[in-house]
Amino acid sequence: MISKSRTLITAAFVMLLGMTGFSATAVATTPDGETPANEGVCDILKADGITKGLYGLCNAYCEAQDLDTFDKEPPSTKILANYNKKKAATDPDMPCLRVPCPCWSDEELASFTADGMVATCIGGDSADKVQIIDNAPLTKFADADITLNRERCRYIDLNTTPRTIRSFTINAAEAQGCFTAIVNACNSVLP
Protein backbone atom coordinates (compact mmCIF):
# COMPACT_ATOMS: atom_id res chain seq x y z
CA MET A 1 0.00 0.00 0.00
CA ILE A 2 2.77 2.33 0.97
CA SER A 3 4.64 1.33 -2.13
CA LYS A 4 1.55 2.02 -4.27
CA SER A 5 0.99 5.47 -2.84
CA ARG A 6 4.70 6.21 -3.13
CA THR A 7 4.47 5.28 -6.81
CA LEU A 8 1.46 7.55 -7.22
CA ILE A 9 3.23 10.44 -5.51
CA THR A 10 6.30 9.89 -7.67
CA ALA A 11 4.15 9.82 -10.80
CA ALA A 12 2.37 13.00 -9.78
CA PHE A 13 5.69 14.64 -9.05
CA VAL A 14 7.08 13.59 -12.43
CA MET A 15 3.94 14.90 -14.15
CA LEU A 16 4.20 18.18 -12.27
CA LEU A 17 7.82 18.49 -13.23
CA GLY A 18 6.99 17.68 -16.83
CA MET A 19 4.22 20.26 -16.92
CA THR A 20 6.46 22.87 -15.39
CA GLY A 21 9.10 22.08 -17.96
CA PHE A 22 6.55 22.16 -20.75
CA SER A 23 5.13 25.49 -19.73
CA ALA A 24 8.63 26.87 -19.39
CA THR A 25 9.41 25.71 -22.89
CA ALA A 26 6.21 27.24 -24.19
CA VAL A 27 7.00 30.70 -22.81
CA ALA A 28 10.75 30.61 -23.35
CA THR A 29 11.83 33.22 -25.83
CA THR A 30 14.90 35.07 -26.96
CA PRO A 31 15.14 38.79 -26.41
CA ASP A 32 13.82 39.56 -29.87
CA GLY A 33 11.61 36.49 -30.16
CA GLU A 34 13.76 34.97 -32.88
CA THR A 35 16.58 32.52 -32.55
CA PRO A 36 19.73 33.27 -34.54
CA ALA A 37 18.88 30.25 -36.68
CA ASN A 38 15.66 31.97 -37.66
CA GLU A 39 17.47 35.24 -38.23
CA GLY A 40 19.84 33.42 -40.56
CA VAL A 41 23.08 34.98 -39.37
CA CYS A 42 24.64 31.58 -38.62
CA ASP A 43 23.37 29.79 -41.73
CA ILE A 44 26.68 30.08 -43.56
CA LEU A 45 28.12 27.72 -40.96
CA LYS A 46 25.76 24.94 -42.08
CA ALA A 47 27.59 24.63 -45.39
CA ASP A 48 29.68 21.59 -46.29
CA GLY A 49 33.29 21.82 -45.28
CA ILE A 50 32.65 24.01 -42.26
CA THR A 51 33.98 22.65 -38.98
CA LYS A 52 31.24 20.86 -37.05
CA GLY A 53 30.07 22.62 -33.90
CA LEU A 54 30.66 26.16 -35.13
CA TYR A 55 26.99 26.55 -36.03
CA GLY A 56 25.93 25.78 -32.46
CA LEU A 57 28.52 28.13 -30.99
CA CYS A 58 27.41 30.83 -33.40
CA ASN A 59 23.79 30.44 -32.32
CA ALA A 60 24.76 30.69 -28.68
CA TYR A 61 27.03 33.67 -29.16
CA CYS A 62 24.80 35.67 -31.48
CA GLU A 63 21.73 35.18 -29.33
CA ALA A 64 23.73 36.21 -26.26
CA GLN A 65 24.36 39.58 -27.82
CA ASP A 66 21.20 39.54 -29.90
CA LEU A 67 21.75 41.70 -32.91
CA ASP A 68 18.11 42.71 -33.14
CA THR A 69 17.87 44.01 -29.62
CA PHE A 70 19.66 47.05 -28.34
CA ASP A 71 19.47 46.29 -24.63
CA LYS A 72 21.50 43.14 -24.51
CA GLU A 73 23.62 41.13 -22.15
CA PRO A 74 27.36 41.41 -22.75
CA PRO A 75 28.38 38.73 -25.27
CA SER A 76 30.02 35.67 -23.87
CA THR A 77 33.71 35.94 -24.55
CA LYS A 78 34.08 32.29 -23.57
CA ILE A 79 31.84 31.17 -26.42
CA LEU A 80 33.77 33.36 -28.81
CA ALA A 81 37.05 31.97 -27.54
CA ASN A 82 35.75 28.43 -28.10
CA TYR A 83 34.63 29.36 -31.58
CA ASN A 84 38.01 30.79 -32.49
CA LYS A 85 39.78 27.78 -30.96
CA LYS A 86 37.64 25.37 -32.96
CA LYS A 87 37.70 27.38 -36.17
CA ALA A 88 39.91 26.14 -38.99
CA ALA A 89 41.75 28.59 -41.22
CA THR A 90 39.15 28.12 -43.97
CA ASP A 91 36.17 28.71 -41.68
CA PRO A 92 34.55 32.16 -41.55
CA ASP A 93 34.91 34.44 -38.54
CA MET A 94 32.07 34.61 -36.06
CA PRO A 95 29.25 36.05 -38.22
CA CYS A 96 27.83 38.44 -35.66
CA LEU A 97 31.06 39.51 -34.03
CA ARG A 98 30.38 42.88 -32.49
CA VAL A 99 33.14 45.39 -33.08
CA PRO A 100 32.97 48.34 -30.69
CA CYS A 101 32.40 51.73 -32.29
CA PRO A 102 35.28 54.10 -31.51
CA CYS A 103 33.05 57.18 -31.59
CA TRP A 104 30.90 56.42 -28.55
CA SER A 105 30.48 54.17 -25.56
CA ASP A 106 27.45 51.92 -25.09
CA GLU A 107 26.26 54.26 -22.35
CA GLU A 108 26.49 57.31 -24.60
CA LEU A 109 24.46 55.67 -27.32
CA ALA A 110 21.98 54.27 -24.82
CA SER A 111 21.37 57.81 -23.57
CA PHE A 112 19.63 58.63 -26.87
CA THR A 113 16.87 56.14 -26.15
CA ALA A 114 16.86 56.25 -22.34
CA ASP A 115 13.52 58.06 -22.33
CA GLY A 116 12.02 55.53 -24.74
CA MET A 117 11.99 57.94 -27.64
CA VAL A 118 14.32 59.65 -30.07
CA ALA A 119 13.96 62.86 -32.08
CA THR A 120 14.87 61.42 -35.47
CA CYS A 121 16.52 58.50 -37.14
CA ILE A 122 17.69 59.04 -40.70
CA GLY A 123 18.93 56.42 -43.13
CA GLY A 124 19.65 52.86 -42.08
CA ASP A 125 18.12 49.75 -43.64
CA SER A 126 19.18 49.81 -47.28
CA ALA A 127 21.12 53.08 -46.96
CA ASP A 128 24.86 53.26 -46.32
CA LYS A 129 24.48 55.93 -43.67
CA VAL A 130 22.48 56.16 -40.51
CA GLN A 131 22.01 58.95 -38.01
CA ILE A 132 20.24 59.21 -34.69
CA ILE A 133 19.40 62.67 -33.39
CA ASP A 134 18.20 63.90 -30.02
CA ASN A 135 17.94 67.67 -30.04
CA ALA A 136 17.00 68.53 -26.49
CA PRO A 137 18.13 70.96 -25.32
CA LEU A 138 21.10 71.26 -27.71
CA THR A 139 22.26 69.22 -30.70
CA LYS A 140 23.21 65.66 -29.94
CA PHE A 141 23.64 63.03 -32.59
CA ALA A 142 25.53 59.92 -33.59
CA ASP A 143 25.98 58.71 -37.13
CA ALA A 144 27.84 56.15 -39.16
CA ASP A 145 28.77 55.74 -42.80
CA ILE A 146 29.59 52.27 -44.14
CA THR A 147 30.18 53.42 -47.73
CA LEU A 148 33.21 51.60 -49.11
CA ASN A 149 36.39 53.62 -48.57
CA ARG A 150 34.44 56.38 -46.79
CA GLU A 151 33.80 54.61 -43.50
CA ARG A 152 33.20 57.21 -40.80
CA CYS A 153 31.50 57.71 -37.48
CA ARG A 154 30.61 60.76 -35.42
CA TYR A 155 29.33 61.40 -31.95
CA ILE A 156 28.39 64.97 -31.13
CA ASP A 157 26.94 66.21 -27.87
CA LEU A 158 26.80 69.96 -27.36
CA ASN A 159 25.06 69.53 -24.00
CA THR A 160 28.21 68.41 -22.20
CA THR A 161 30.93 70.66 -20.82
CA PRO A 162 33.24 70.63 -22.62
CA ARG A 163 31.26 69.73 -25.72
CA THR A 164 31.84 66.27 -27.10
CA ILE A 165 32.83 66.21 -30.76
CA ARG A 166 34.25 62.96 -32.10
CA SER A 167 34.61 62.35 -35.81
CA PHE A 168 36.79 59.55 -37.08
CA THR A 169 37.54 57.75 -40.30
CA ILE A 170 37.45 54.08 -39.35
CA ASN A 171 37.79 50.63 -40.86
CA ALA A 172 34.94 48.67 -42.42
CA ALA A 173 34.40 46.36 -39.44
CA GLU A 174 34.24 49.28 -37.03
CA ALA A 175 31.90 51.16 -39.34
CA GLN A 176 29.60 48.15 -39.51
CA GLY A 177 29.66 47.99 -35.71
CA CYS A 178 28.74 51.67 -35.44
CA PHE A 179 26.06 51.34 -38.10
CA THR A 180 24.46 48.27 -36.49
CA ALA A 181 24.50 49.89 -33.06
CA ILE A 182 22.59 52.95 -34.33
CA VAL A 183 20.11 50.86 -36.30
CA ASN A 184 19.45 48.75 -33.19
CA ALA A 185 19.05 51.86 -31.05
CA CYS A 186 16.56 53.30 -33.54
CA ASN A 187 14.67 50.02 -33.82
CA SER A 188 14.38 49.80 -30.05
CA VAL A 189 12.27 52.96 -29.88
CA LEU A 190 10.70 53.46 -33.28
CA PRO A 191 7.43 51.67 -34.09
Partner 1 sequence: MKAYKTALLLSSALCMLLGMGTASAVLVNYTITGTVTAGDEFDTNAFNLTAGETITAYGVIDDSVFGTGAHTATFGSGNTLTIDVNGTFFTHADDTAASLGFADGLLTDFDFLVVGTFSSYFLFFDDQDLMLGDWNPVVATTPVPVPAAVWLFGSGLLGLVGVARRRKAIV
Among 20, 105, 135, 169, binds partner 1 (CB under 8 A): 169
Alpha helix segments (H runs only) across 29-76: 36-39, 54-64
Site string for partner 1, 116-155 (x = CB under 8 A): ------xx-----x-x-------x-x-x-x---xx-x-x-
Indicate the residue among 94 and 153 with the shorter CB distance to partner 1.
Answer: 153
Query: Rounded to an integer, what distance in angstroms lies between the CA atom of residue 169 and that of residue 174?
Result: 10
Task: Yes or no: say if 104 and 67 are a contact pair by the CB < 8 Å rule.
Answer: no
Query: Rounded to an integer, what distance in angstroms lies between the CA atom of residue 154 and that of residue 123?
Result: 15
CA-closest candidate to residue 126, choices 146, 109, 142: 146
b/e burial code for range 151-162 (CB count within 10 A of at least 16 → b)? bbbbbbbeeeee
- Quote the least distance from Cβ 98 to partner 1, whole Å: 23
Work out whether 168 is an interface residue with partner 1 (CB under 8 A).
yes
Indicate the residue among 86 and 163 with the shorter CB distance to partner 1.
Answer: 163
| Residue 97, CA distances (Å) to 9, 13, 18, 81, 155 in order | 49, 43, 37, 12, 22
Query: Rounded to an integer, what distance in angstroms lies between the CA atom of residue 29 and that of residue 32?
Result: 8
- Quote the least distance from Cβ 120 to partner 1, whole Å: 11
Indicate the residue among 42 and 144 with the shorter CB distance to partner 1.
Answer: 144
Work out whether 65 is an interface residue with partner 1 (CB under 8 A).
no
Work out whether 102 is an interface residue with partner 1 (CB under 8 A).
no
Work out whether 162 is an interface residue with partner 1 (CB under 8 A).
yes
Residues that bind partner 1 (CB under 8 A): 122-123, 129, 131, 139, 141, 143, 145, 149-150, 152, 154, 156, 158, 162-163, 165, 167-169
